[in-house]
Every structure is written in C-alpha cells, then in structure tokens.
C-alpha cells in the first residue's frame, strides 16, 4: 500500500451562514493524480486553501506527509508546489526572472537553481518567451508561466487549482501532458477542475464534490459502475408519435426517455443491442430519422444521477 500523502478528516469551513465544506473526508496516496471534480462553488478552492493552511477552518483535521498541517509547518510547505486558480506572477519581472524568483524561495544554490529554472522553462515550453513580461503573454502562455513558477523547485506534492480555465487547446494539451509527466517523475498531484473530460483523461482517482460535500469517489471506472446508466442513445427524429415514444420507453433495459427539439434520448441500463431494438421500433412504424449515436456513461452522468442536475453546460 502506498503512503498516505494527505489525510483530511471531517473538515468543516463556514463563511458566515454558508457551509462551504461540510464534513469533508479525503485521503490521497503517494503517486496519485487525484482529481477534485465539481461545479463552480462546490468548495474545491476552499479545500485547497484549508489544506495549505491559508484559511482557518471551523472543524476537522489535516495531515500532510503524516504530520499535522499548520501555518508554520515550513518543512511540509517546502515540499509542496502550488498553482493557484488566479495567476500570481510579477508584472515587472520577465518570464525567466519570475520562475527564478519563485524557485529561489526554495533553492538557494545558484547553479542548481539555474538548472531547475531551465528545466521548468523547457517543461512548459516557454523557451521562446523567456525575456517577455507577463503582460505580453497570451492567456495560455501566462497559465504555463504560472505553472512553471509553482513546480520549478521540484516539489513532491503539486496542487493545481483549475489550471486550464480559459486556455487555448494547444496550451491545455501541453498543461495536461505536463501534469502526467510530473506524475511519472514521482510527484503526487491534486488537480481541481469542473471539466469532466480532463479529469477523466489524467486522474487516477477522483472525488466528485457538490455543495461542500464529497458525493462520490473512486477511479473513473468505479464511479461509472455506481450508476444505473450504461448507455445513452440519441436519435434525431422530426416527428415522434406519442405511442411510438411509449413503445420505446417500454423496451427492455430502457429506464428513461426524453423527446425535445427533434431529438429522442433513450437512457439504458445494461443489455446489449439497445440501439438496434430502438431502431427496429422506428422502422416498424415507418418513421424516418437522422443522425444516430450512442454514448457510454461519462462523469457527467454520474453527477447527474447522484445530484439530479448536470455538472456543467455544454460550452463550459
């Protein structure tokens, strides 16, 4: 069994009347890419801020590397790399100088630091921009600088809070690949996001949060096995007589159907060849249809089934 890197027990954080974290329990083990997935306002950043002792909490306990985390636990803090949701770099310093500054907080040796800074620059792909000031960088490049500043000292534990929000696809891929590489080189990662696709792509274990509570936890396969949905069939069909809709709803393994704006959605639980059975009903009723597709469950379906609402809207 891998070592426990983080242990959060019964964490409660209130902002006045609002309960931002409601008895949260989390255990993160060495070598994991641990995903905290939840919609905006679910408490991800609050969790990170409590974890880092940046924020006082009302109840509970936090241990990192087997020791209680406190505002003065500098031996622990030294081994953590933090990439905050809001980019925090110095406008007056160049890309190189920014990374050198943050790295210098941990690595006093000049020659070693030079090597580390160069590694970080290469790692995020900012070689062509080292003399640029942050204001001259695009959103994606600025995010990459933010990451380089957080990881240059080669920390054992790296925490990234929504590092891909408002980032172009090229930078996003670079960031996701980079996180996987950091993990391969031995770092434990905590990654928060409201993008389920990213979390599915890179996280080895995931906790889904909603309203300050952990509502589910496991690998993506385990999470998907928790729910009833195994397949969602979508069919574009301009006209669907009520009795045909009902007949489809009564097919084996179909547990729910929706028809709106010319699209029929059929939710299936188990079974094989669900699509063929549905199309067979349409054919027997001599109905024409357009695009047809079937999807395996996503983490959004997990969230939907547990909370009754969608994790995010499509463009998110």
Where does this chain bind ligand ADP (CB under 6 A)? 15, 18, 20, 38, 40-46
Rounded CA separation 160/150 (Å): 9
Residue 126-165 contact track with Mg ion, rule CB under 5 A, x = bound: ----------------------------------------
Q: Considering the complex, what minimum distance in angstroms separates the CB of residue 29 from ligand ADP?
A: 23
> Please, which residue, 85 or 300, has the CB nearer to Mg ion?
85
CB 95 within 8 A of CB 149: no
**What are the tokens at 279?**
């199309």
> Please, which residue, 44 or 143, has the CB nearer to Mg ion?
44
Radius of gyration of the chain (CA): 23
The only residue of 45, 47, 164, 298 in contact with Mg ion, by rule CB under 5 A: 45
> Please, which residue, 46 or 230, has the CB nearer to ligand ADP?
46
Numbers of helices and strands, H then E, in the chain: 11, 14
Q: Considering the complex, what minimum distance in angstroms separates the CB of residue 46 from Mg ion?
A: 8
Rounded CA separation 275/305 (Å): 22
> Please, which residue, 45 or 298, has the CB nearer to ligand ADP?
45
> Please, which residue, 88 or 238, has the CB nearer to ligand ADP?
88
Adjacent-strand bridge partners of 189: 33, 158
Taking CB under 5 A as the rule, does residue 47 contact Mg ion? no
Bridging pattern class, strands 59-64 and 213-218: unpaired
Rounded CA separation 51/49 (Å): 5
Q: Considering the complex, what minimum distance in angstroms separates the CB of residue 44 from Mg ion?
A: 5
Rounded CA separation 251/54 (Å): 54
**Residue numbers of the site for Mg ion (CB under 5 A)?**
44-45, 85
């Amino acid at each position: 069994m891998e070592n426990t890197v983080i242990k959060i027990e019964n964490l409660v954080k209130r902002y006045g009347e609002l309960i931002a974290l409601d008895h949260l329990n989390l255990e993160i083990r060495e070598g994991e890419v641990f995903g905290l997935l939840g919609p905006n306002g679910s408490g991800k950043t609050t969790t990170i801020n409590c974890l880092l002792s940046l924020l006082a909490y009302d109840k509970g306990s936090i241990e990192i590397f087997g020791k209680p985390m406190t505002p003065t636990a500098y031996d622990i803090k030294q081994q953590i790399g933090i990439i905050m949701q809001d980019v925090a770099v110095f406008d007056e310093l160049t890309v190189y100088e920014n990374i050198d500054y943050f790295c210098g907080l941990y690595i006093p040796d000049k020659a070693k630091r030079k090597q580390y800074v160069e590694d970080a620059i290469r790692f995020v792909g900012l070689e062509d921009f080292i003399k640029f000031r942050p204001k001259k960088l695009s959103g994606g490049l600025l995010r990459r600088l933010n990451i380089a500043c957080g990881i240059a000292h080669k920390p054992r534990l790296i925490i990234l809070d929504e590092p891909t929000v408002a980032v172009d696809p090229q930078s996003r891929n670079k960031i996701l690949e980079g996180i996987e590489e950091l993990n391969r080189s031995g770092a434990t990662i905590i990654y928060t996001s409201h993008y389920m696709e990213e979390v599915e792509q890179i996280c080895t274990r995931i906790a889904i949060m909603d309203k300050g509570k952990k509502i589910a936890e496991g690998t993506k396969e385990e999470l998907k096995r928790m729910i009833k949905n195994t397949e969602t069939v979508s069919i574009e069909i301009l006209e669907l007589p009520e009795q045909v809709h009902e007949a489809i709803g009564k097919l084996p393994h179909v547990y729910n159907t929706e028809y709106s704006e010319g699209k029929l959605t059929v939710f299936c639980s188990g079974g094989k060849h669900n699509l063929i059975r549905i199309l067979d009903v349409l054919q027997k009723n001599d109905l024409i249809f357009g695009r047809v597709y079937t999807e395996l469950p996503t983490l959004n379906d997990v969230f939907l089934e547990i909370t009754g609402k969608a994790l995010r809207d499509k463009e998110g």
